[in-house]
Chain A
Amino acid sequence: MSSRPSFYITRLENWVDLPSSLGTLGAQILAGGTDLVPNLTWELASPTMLVDVMGISELREITIDAEGRWVIGAAVTLSDILHHPVLGAHYPMLVAAVHAVATPEIRAQATLGGNLCVDTRCRFRNQPPIWRSGLDPCFKSDGNRCYAAPKSRECVAILSSDTAPVLIALGAEVAVGGPELRWVEVEALYSGDGHDHLTLGPQEFVRAVRLPRVSPAGVFRKWRDRATMDFPEVDVAVAATLDEGVPRDIRIVVSAVGPAPVRISAAEVLLDSSPWTDAQLERASVMAREAVHPYDNGQLGVIGRQLAVRSLVLDALTALRAALMETGGEQNDLGGRDSREKGQPR
Chain B
Amino acid sequence: MAGTLLQLTVNGHPQTVWIQDKTTLLEVLRDGLGFTGTKNGCAVGQCGTCTVWIDGVSRLSCITLARTVEGRTVTTVEGLADWWRERHPEDVYHPLQSAFVAEGAVQCGFCTPGMTMAGAALLQEIPHPDREEIREALGGHLCRCTGYEQIIRAVAAVGDRGKEDVR
Chain A residues in contact with chain B, CB under 8 A?
Answer: 1-2, 4-9, 11, 30, 33-34, 37-38, 40-42, 50, 52, 54, 102-106, 108-109, 227-229
Contacts and interface: CB of A to CB of B under 8 A. Distances in A.
Interface in B102-142: 118, 136-137, 139-140
Contact of B1 (A2, A6, A30): A6
B140 A1 contact: no
Contacts of A229: 46, 139-140
Interface string B135-153: 0110110000000000000
Contacts of B21: 6-9, 50
A153 B65 CA distance: 36
A106 B20 contact: no
Interface stretch (B55-63, B74-82, B89-97, B158-166): B55-63
Given A38-B63, A105-B60, A108-B58, A6 B140 contact: no
Most chain A beta-carbon neighbours within 10 Å: one of B44, B46, B58, B118? B44
A-B complex: 5 closest residue pairs judged by Cβ atoms: A103-B140, A228-B139, A38-B44, A6-B1, A37-B63
B20 A6 contact: yes
Nearest to A228: B139
Interface in B16-61: 20-24, 27, 31, 43-46, 48, 51, 57-60
Given A5-B22, A52-B67, A108-B59, 17 more contacts: A6-B20, A7-B22, A9-B68, A11-B67, A33-B68, A37-B45, A37-B65, A40-B22, A102-B140, A103-B139, A103-B140, A105-B48, A105-B51, A105-B58, A106-B45, A228-B139, A228-B140
Q: Chain B binding site: helix, strand, loop or mixed by DSSP?
A: mixed
A103 B137 CA distance: 8
Contacts of A33: 63-65, 68
Contact of A103 (B20, B48, B57, B65): B48
A152 B23 CA distance: 37
Contacts, number: 90
Contacts of B139: 103-104, 227-229
B58 to A, nearest CB: 5
B64 A109 contact: yes
Given A34-B45, A104-B136, A105-B58, A2 B68 contact: no
Contact of B140 (A5, A38, A105): A105
A109 B43 CA distance: 16
A185 to B, nearest CB: 31
A37 B51 contact: no
A30 B64 CA distance: 11
Contacts of A41: 24, 43-44, 62-63
19 contacts: A1-B20, A2-B23, A2-B27, A2-B43, A4-B22, A9-B65, A37-B63, A38-B44, A40-B22, A52-B68, A103-B48, A104-B137, A105-B48, A105-B58, A105-B140, A106-B45, A106-B63, A109-B64, A229-B139
A106 B60 contact: yes
A28 to B, nearest CB: 13
Contacts of B64: 33, 37, 109
Contacts of B57: 108
B140 A106 contact: yes
Contacts of A38: 44-46, 63
Contacts of B62: 37, 41
A328 B47 CA distance: 45
A38 B64 CA distance: 9
Contact of B22 (A2, A102, A106, A227): A2
Contacts of A228: 136, 139-140
Contacts of A42: 44
A104 B58 contact: yes
Given A9-B21, A108-B57, A1 B31 contact: yes
Contacts of A103: 48, 139-140
A80 to B, nearest CB: 11
A1 B68 contact: no
A215 to B, nearest CB: 25
A33 B46 CA distance: 14
A8 B65 CA distance: 11
